[in-house]
Amino acid sequence: MGRGITYHEIECKSALNKVEGMSFSWSLNPYQGCAHGCHYCYARRYHAYRDLDPGRDFETELFVKTNVAAVLRRELRRPSWVGDLVAIGTATDPYQPVEGRYRLTRGCLEALADHNNPASLVTKGTLIVRDIDVLASMAAGSGVTVVFSLTTLDAGLWQRLEPGTPPPGQRLRAMASLVKAGVRAGVLLAPVLPGLTDDPANLEGLVSAAAAHGAQFLGAQVLYLKGGTREHFLGYLRRHHPQLLANYQRLFPGSYSPKRFQQQLQASVTQLKESYQLVDTPATPKRSVRQLSLFADNA
């Protein structure tokens, strides 16, 4: 698989993780660490919990939860489980290259489909088209939402920011394939990076491309920098965009940018969506359980 990457096969005790303060209550991550190597990734900080470097180790020391699908099936059979939506890929990309070998994300989707349980996925990976069959089955049943993360269409900037990811155009075509198969899929502009990807031309290009490829919703989220990710990303700026470093240090005295900046971004994205007639299509629950949809109203 990846050069210079070490894969650690581990067994997990639980597959489902309880989440507080989000639009979903449960998350699931078949892997830890990510070969995509996005310099801004908020999940980098989780590697510190294993006493590993959120920088290089996050991209090269990857953990594979080999039994995650079997554990998930066991948890879904519990009498206490009421069928809440499960968000997949909240701390690592479920369709990074290692999925091609281990097929753990597919195994988890099959478990959820067998239990008629709704799900959502966030990814930059085009390998997801391999699983159109199970995703289409879920779409016709309990429901599934797929969110494709995009930051820019600029080839040079994309390669610097997200060195291990599929090109943005390939992600858009993967999204179009899912939509054609009846799967609810759309775009999240995340993270929007001040001074790098927040200019009107970049945002309009992304919204235009999303609309042209049939996105059923679109949201946006400004970068945030928590410990681990903050140090790594500021180091990236120091190497590649030194002229922005001082501005970022002022804009991010803590983890988040000022609310005024975030509100301005949301207003700009809303205006662009209106210009390109990109209307968010809500999820349509097929069964009487609490079902939440990711990013339906983010922009």
- pLDDT for residue 23: 81
Exposure b/e, 213-238, CB count within 10 A at least 16 = b: bbbbbbbbbbbbbeebbbebbbebbe
297 inside domain = no
287 inside domain = no
Q: What is the mean pLDDT of residues 111-128?
A: 97
291 inside domain = no
The percent of residues in the chain predicted with pLDDT above 90, rounded, is: 87
Cis status of the peptide bond prior to 168, with omega within 30 of 0: no
- Using one digit for the tens of pLDDT, what is the confidence trace for 67-90? 999 999 999 999 999 999 999 999
- pLDDT for residue 284: 64
12 inside domain = yes
Question: Which residues lie below 8 Å from residue 104, measured CB to CB, with a gap of 6+?
Answer: 30, 31, 64, 65, 66, 68, 69, 94
288 inside domain = no
48 pLDDT band, cuts 50/70/90, is confident
Q: Between these two residues, 46 and 285, which has the higher pLDDT value? A: 46
Q: What is the mean pLDDT of residues 255-260?
A: 96
266 inside domain = yes
Question: Which of 1-10, 44-53, 193-202 tops mean pLDDT?
Answer: 193-202
Q: Name the pairing type of β-strands 218-222 and 184-192.
A: parallel
Least confident window among 2-6, 28-32, 62-66, 294-298 = 294-298
For residue 64 the two structure tokens come to: 């594979």
- pLDDT for residue 14: 97
Evaluate whether 201 touches 152 at the Cβ level (below 8 Å).
no
- pLDDT for residue 285: 53
Residue 129 domain boundaries: 6-275
Exposed (0-12), middle (13-18) or buried (19+): which is 175, by Cβ within 10 Å?
A: buried
The percent of residues in the chain predicted with pLDDT above 70, rounded, is: 94
CATH number at residue 200: 3.80.30.30
Evaluate whether 64 touches 104 at the Cβ level (below 8 Å).
yes
297 pLDDT band, cuts 50/70/90, is very low
Q: What is the rounded CA–CA span in Å between residue 111 and residue 77?
A: 10
Q: What is the mean pLDDT of residues 275-281?
A: 95
* Secondary structure (H, E, C), 217-239: CEEEEECECCCCHHHHHHHHHHH
1 inside domain = no
Structurally, the chain folds into a number of domains equal to: 1
254 inside domain = yes
Alpha helices in the chain (DSSP H): 56-60, 68-76, 99-102, 104-114, 132-140, 155-161, 168-180, 200-212, 229-240, 245-251, 259-275
